[in-house]
Amino acid sequence: MKDYPSYSLWLSQVGDLSPRPVLRRDLEVDVAIVGGGYTGLWTAYYLKKADPGLRIALLERDVCGFGASGRNGGWCSALFAASKKKIARRHGRAAAVAMQKAMFDTVDEVGRVTAAERIDCDFHKGGTLTLAPSPAHVGRVREEIVEEHSWGFSDRDFSWLDEAEVRQRIHTPELYGAAFTPHCAALHPAKLARGLADVVEGLGVEIYEQTAAATVEPHLVETDAGRTVRARFTVLATEAFTVELAHAARRLVPLYSLMIATESLGEAFWDEVGWRDRETITDGHHLLIYAQRTADDRIAFGGRGAPYHFGSRISDDFDRDPHVFIELKRVLHSLFPAVRHAAITHHWGGPVGVPRDWYSSVSLDADGMAWAGGYVGDGVSTSNLAGRTLRDLILGHDTAITRLPWVGHRSRRWEPEPLRWIGTNLALRAMGSADHKERKTRRATRRGDLLKKIVGI
C-alpha cells in the first residue's frame, strides 16, 4: 500500500488513511461515481441530500482525497478558469457575470455545508491579496481590478490597496500595493476531502477504495479486477487522472503544481508580518504562486513551473522537482526574509487538469454519462458548484445553475504528441523567462501576457 501521509502536508495531518473496502462483487445502482475527490464527493453529497433513496456507489483507485483534493493550496476561491471575456464571446455578457456571481456564492456554500455537517477543515473567509512586491507588477495587478469593474463589480468585490493600506494587513520588505477581494477562504484541503467522505458514507453512499476503473462507459463501469457496476447514470470525476483512460487521453493536460510548507512559525514572526486574517496570497508573477497561513501557523506556499511530461504521463516521481522547490523557496524568502531561518518541513506536488481552452465544464449526456472537471487548479470551490449542478442535471431539474455557461461546454482536444509536449513546455519556459526579466529590470514585460493570449488562457 502507498504511504499516503507522505503525499502532502495536508494528508500527513488527517490521521488514519487506511483504505475502505475494495469492491469485490458486481453492483447495480442508480448512480456510479468514478473518483473520490471533491467532484465525486460533492456530487454524492448533494444527490443523497436531495433524494435519500438513491443508491450511489463511489469508486476510488486509492483513498478519498488522494489526488488534487488532498494536495492543493487550500484556496476556496471565486476564481473560474475561463476569463469573463472568453465566456462573453460565446454566451454574452450576462452569462459571464452570472458565472462569476455563482462562484461568489459557491465560496459561502462550502462554508455553510462544512459548518452544518461539522467538517472541521479550518475554513476561514479572509479573502485574497494579490501583492505587487515589484514595480513591474503594479500595472498588471491594477489592470485586473479595472477589468473586473468593467463587468459591473465594485470595490466591495475587487479593490486596490495602496502601500499603507496593504501593510495594515501584511508586512513584506518591498511592497507597492495589492489587489484585494473578499471572495476567498483558506481551508485544510485534506480535512475537507476526508470529512466529506465520512459524511457521504454516513448518508448511505457506498464508497469503495483501492478500486480502479479500467473502463468508464454510459451505464457501466468495469474495474481492473473484473467487477462491473451498472447504473442509470455514470459520473466521471477523475480530473487530471482522466488522461489515463484510453478514450480520454487528449481531453486534458496534466500540469504539475508543487508546494512547500514551513514549520509552525512563532508569535514573534506573526507580530512582525501580520497576516492575521489568513488571507490567501498571490502576486503579479506570470507563473502562478499561491500561499496561505495555515491554522497551525505555517506558511503553505506553491507555484507552477514544473515541466509537462511527454504523453501526458503522471507519476509520483514528478511530484518533486528540486529546481521548482528552489524557486519556491527563493520567492518565499524574498517576500518574508525571516522565514529563511525556519525549516521547510514538507515538499510535495501533483497534477491539475487543464483543458485546451482553459475552460472548466460540467455536463450530462443523453446516454446518462456525466462529467465535471478541467478546473486548472481552481477546483476547491468549482467542484462544489459542479456537484450541485450534476445533482440538478441527474434529477432533471431546470435551475439557475444548470443554465450557467459552463454547462455542456466542450473543449477541443489537445494536439497529439510531440506538438503537445513542445507547445506546453515552451509556454511554461516563456512565462518563467518573463518573470526572470521583470525581476532583473524591475519593469513590466508584455511577453507573458502575449503568450497567454496566443495559447488561449
List the CATH number of the domain containing 220: 3.50.50.60
Whether residue 204 sits in one domain with residue 65: yes
Domain count, the chain: 2
Whether residue 150 sits in one domain with residue 132: yes
C-beta atoms surrounding 174 within 10 Å: 12
Contact in structure between 280 and 290 (CB atoms under 8 Å) = yes
Whether residue 443 sits in one domain with residue 325: yes
For position 315, which CATH number holds? Answer: 3.30.9.10
pLDDT at 450 over 60: no
Which tens digits make up the pLDDT trace of 213-249? 999 999 999 999 999 999 999 999 999 999 999 888 8
67, amino acid identity: G
∠ Cα 95 101 102 (to 5°) = 85
pLDDT at 12 over 50: yes
Task: Provide the residue range defining the domain that includes 58.
Answer: 19-70+190-251+357-403
Whether residue 375 sits in one domain with residue 339: no
Reported as a pLDDT band with limits 50, 70 and 90, residue 305 is confident
List strands edge to edge, sheet with 344-354.
159-161, 178-181, 128-131, 280-283, 289-293, 299-303, 253-262, 344-354
Whether residue 327 sits in one domain with residue 279: yes
Whether residue 347 sits in one domain with residue 278: yes
Reported as a pLDDT band with limits 50, 70 and 90, residue 432 is confident
60, amino acid identity: E
Do the domain assignments include residue 116? no
Reported as a pLDDT band with limits 50, 70 and 90, residue 454 is very low
pTM: 0.96
Whether residue 334 sits in one domain with residue 316: yes
Whether residue 294 sits in one domain with residue 246: no
Do the domain assignments include residue 79? no
Do the domain assignments include residue 177? yes
Q: Which residues contact 220 (CB under 8 A, 6 or more apart)?
A: 228, 229, 230, 231, 234
pLDDT at 208 over 60: yes
Do the domain assignments include residue 327? yes
Whether residue 159 sits in one domain with residue 283: yes
Whether residue 53 sits in one domain with residue 28: yes
Which pLDDT score, from 0 to 100, does residue 268 have? 95
Whether residue 308 sits in one domain with residue 277: yes
Q: Read off the DSSP letter of residue 340.
A: G
Whether residue 260 sits in one domain with residue 398: no
